[in-house]
Chains A and B, each alone.
Chain A
Amino acid sequence: MKILRQHSFSALLAQQLTILGFFWFALETHAQVLVVASPQSPLVGISPTEVKSLFLGNPIQGGNLDFRPLDRMALEANSLKSSFLDRVMMMKPGEMKAYWSRKIFTGRGTPPPEAKTIEQVREWLSKEPLIVTYVTKEEFDPKSMKLLLEVK
């Protein structure tokens, strides 16, 4: 009986660890996305629809201000960019590429610039108060960034 209980406990522990492992993997697969701007930005918040419009090269409601997107380079699979495309843009990388191909070859737009590192993001935000970009929770720095939207 004692052996049977041990086996049951081991099996239960293995099961729980497996479940926790799946959760951890799921969390790691999609990084949390925070949409941010410069602390000097006139924006105080932004909707997911406006973020999508901006990153598709379209203007958003903002009077005469020319808000512009700053994209992030996809450095690895399951990266921040993957999360952003999946959760905010709701587009696959191939669909995004096809969209910008159509825009570029019509002369009606070009894809936004891409920042490779968080240091480049901070540099952009410090020089361009109308830039809107996205970072992970770990990258967020309240001194150099203003949080506009937390994508859950």
Chain B
Amino acid sequence: MLSQSARRAWIVVSWAVGFLTAADGHAQNQSPLDIRGFASTAVTDTTTSYYMGDLGSTGDRLSFTKNTIFGMNLRWTINSEWSAMGQLVARGNYDTFGMNVNWGFVEWKPHPKLNLKLGRIISPLWLYSQQFDIAASYPWVVLPTEVYGLASILRSLDGVSLLFRQPVGEGLLQLDLIAGTSRAKQEFGSARNPSRVEIDIDSAWGAELSYELQDALLFRVAYDQAFVTGYSTQRGTAPGFSVPVDYSLPISVGRTDLFASGIRYQNKWLQFHSEWVRRLAEGADYSRASGWYASAGVPLGQWLPYFLYSSVYDIVGTGLRHPNSALAQTVFQTAGHTLSTGLNWQVTDSVVIKSQVGHSVVSFTNTIHNFNYNFVQLGAATTF
């Protein structure tokens, strides 16, 4: 029996399919309303009952729900200069679905090389910032947690952005500036030991500079600065309670600086991705951490075998606590890395089935609690 949230999600998807059918029929007449959708699902099984990270794993039981996403992207072209766009996403969380507006803005294009957006805008920190929920856009089952988990609270801002575009040689140089505020919720952990961080971003601004050579090469650097307050909710034992309860603790974050760089290169024989992110924060609960990954795949017709190595290191602070609630107050993660290999099958232009197996190692302040585990992930994604 589906929960009420899941039923709502299915209703939205059904409407989307209906609209898509109508919109496709009107494509020749250049309808001002363009509706597209995307969906993905994934399941992870691991050899550990703990879960480190907020992407992908359920840890203690198999569940497709945690990584099932339905989304709808709408664009209304008002005229040659003005348009309005939005993206709704219904995301699974163990047994329920939650829906939110990923982004939604009004866009003004007064000049071919200048875009102004006002509304909820994606912060362009990572290579796949804009496609965070579009699993069909990237080769892995889930985005590398060691990098994309470092600042997932800063995914979108309610504010304004300016995008400058200048052709340079055969490519395009782009500068994206963004400023705004946000309230973000990051949920991770396992069904048995859930954790949640709620963050208020009082003010933030960011910049991304990228150079894209046709569709073959993309190189980018980015910087974000945010002033953050928030609290963390975890499940564990508390004085006066005989059963585990959810308890909240204020977290010290303060000013946060994020530096990132990334490269994507692809041709007929190779797909290569690499990114690096460094986080600096004033508060002890969210302070310093760095992460990077490198991935290489070889397109073989409809198949894509690939390797991925990802690492998080130089973690200083109490933000990443041990998943065992008995140790969460005293043992904190210092580093981790994952080596994995995967194979994707592009069933059609719009549908891909993914698989990934790997080994992760997690290190803590008290090394006696270090552990490692194997995992296997299966996923499917589509756009329509």
Contacts and interface: CB of A to CB of B under 8 A. Distances in A.
B130 A105 contact: yes
B73 interface: yes
A108 interface: yes
Contacts of B273: none
A68 B130 CA distance: 24
B105 interface: yes
A62 to B, nearest CB: 7
B130 A67 contact: no
Interface in A71-112: 73, 91, 93-95, 97-99, 101-102, 104-108, 110
A117 B346 CA distance: 32
Contacts of A114: 27-28
A66 interface: yes
Interface stretch (B11-19, B165-173, B192-200, B317-325): B165-173
Contact of A104 (B73, B112, B113): B73
Contacts of A21: none
Interface magnitude class on chain B: 35 or more
Interface residues of A, number: 32
- Interface SS majority for chain B: strand
A104 B72 CA distance: 11
A64 B112 contact: yes
B340 interface: no
A6 interface: no
Contacts of B215: 56, 91, 95, 99
Nearest to B36: A104
Given A53-B172, A67-B112, A113-B30, A101 B134 contact: yes
Contacts of A94: 346, 349
A105 B38 contact: yes
Interface string A102-140: 101111101001101000000000000000000000000
A43 to B, nearest CB: 14
Interface in B76-127: 77, 80, 85, 87, 103, 105, 107, 109, 111-113, 117, 122
B339 to A, nearest CB: 27
Contacts of A73: 28
Contact of B383 (A52, A93, A101, A113): A101
B28 A60 contact: no
A1 interface: no
A113 B26 CA distance: 12
Contacts of B27: 114
Contacts of A66: 80, 109, 111-112
Nearest to B170: A49
A64 B109 CA distance: 12
Interface of B: 27-28, 30, 34, 36, 38, 71, 73, 75, 77, 80, 85, 87, 103, 105, 107, 109, 111-113, 117, 122, 130-131, 134, 136-137, 163, 165-167, 170, 172, 214-215, 346, 349-350, 383
